[in-house]
Copies of this chain bind each other. A is one copy, B any other.
């Protein structure tokens, strides 16, 4: 397995693009609609937010993916089409416009939206822009680059990756684009992420693979504890790599899932790292918990703790915040068996042993915590469970961005 270029266009048979059609009115430079199209129909699966309030596109996608097949994906930024008038009606109109140009059924188009909640989406500008968008489709890396940029909202960097592996003797490629910067605390689905692969895999198995993957990637990050109404992660597999179709959990399946997980984890870390206003990527590794589930709950509680996030922002080695967040996670454990260390490229420092504070070099701690990537390393004495979750610090900029998001 190796990282390659090309994002969602890396896999054979996929084209993509992104242009500005006018959903975002403040800035005509900013792309606002992305399109991904496969030459042939794909085994397709998606997972969505567990928020009781769901965006219109989710209701449409659930119907369109009932048969586990799709050929195109359209994604707009600038408007979430959630709690908005004519939500489903407009989402279907957009799918219709795509289907017309691609030459597939409306039901073979998946759709996603991200942006402001509660305002009617400008369906006309999207319909009117569809021809230009379709014409601009490209199988080159540029196509994916444009699509990745078109789904950004408050993101400061595009998130795009691809990997290559060998399955059943054939080279299989997979890539993805994702957005997510605020309102990030995925539960089941996540932000927006579209993955493409040329692997031959059945609709049943692609669904299993996606569920296995999001559990250890997107569901293990948090920016602000707010689970969005629009979270969607979708994977399209067109089979053009020519491998024997994966129809059961055999070696090929596990090889495929391994690569998909790697791709998804890397994209997840990019999202956490680009959390709104973030200055630090925080990785919390928990070892010695009573189970993986328990380790995940504890690790997630730490990366979600506003006080821990503020301490990291201030490069303050305030491990009491970490232990406290572990304590209110809801998991039962012996605090007297907890060791905590902070790590980064600048070094490593133990700050708590057996639940008690150690005397440590504050200058070294400050130096370690001034790096961009910070690891909070937690060891417990409950069992063999371990898990890693990713988050970011909370900064003045986060508040600035969200104090006036709509206007």
Chain A positions near chain B (C-beta within 8 angstroms): 49-54, 80, 82-85, 116-119, 182-183, 185, 187, 224-229, 304-307, 310-311, 313-321, 323-329, 331-333, 335, 352, 355-357, 362, 394-396, 398-407
Residues of chain B lying within 8 A (CB to CB) of residue A318: 117, 405-406
Residues B83 and A311 in contact, CB atoms below 8 Å apart: no
The listed residue (B307, B320, B395, B400) touching A182 by CB distance below 8 A is: B307
Task: Give the residue name and chain of the B residue nearest to A317 (CB).
Answer: B406
- The oligomer's copy count stands at 2
Task: Give the residue name and chain of the B residue nearest to A305 (CB).
Answer: B226
The listed residue (B117, B314, B355, B402) touching A83 by CB distance below 8 A is: B355
Ordered by A's residue number, 11 sampled pairs between the chains whose C-beta atoms are within 8 Å are A53-B323, A80-B320, A225-B306, A228-B324, A229-B323, A306-B394, A314-B403, A316-B404, A396-B396, A396-B400, A399-B399
- Chain B nearest CB: distance from A372 CB in Å? 16
CA–CA, A185 and B396, complex, Å: 22
The listed residue (B118, B314, B321, B332) touching A356 by CB distance below 8 A is: B118
The listed residue (B52, B187, B396) touching A399 by CB distance below 8 A is: B396
Residues B313 and A52 in contact, CB atoms below 8 Å apart: no
Task: Give the residue name and chain of the B residue nearest to A119 (CB).
Answer: B357
Residues of chain B lying within 8 A (CB to CB) of residue A307: 182-183, 224, 226, 402
Residues of chain B lying within 8 A (CB to CB) of residue A326: 52-53
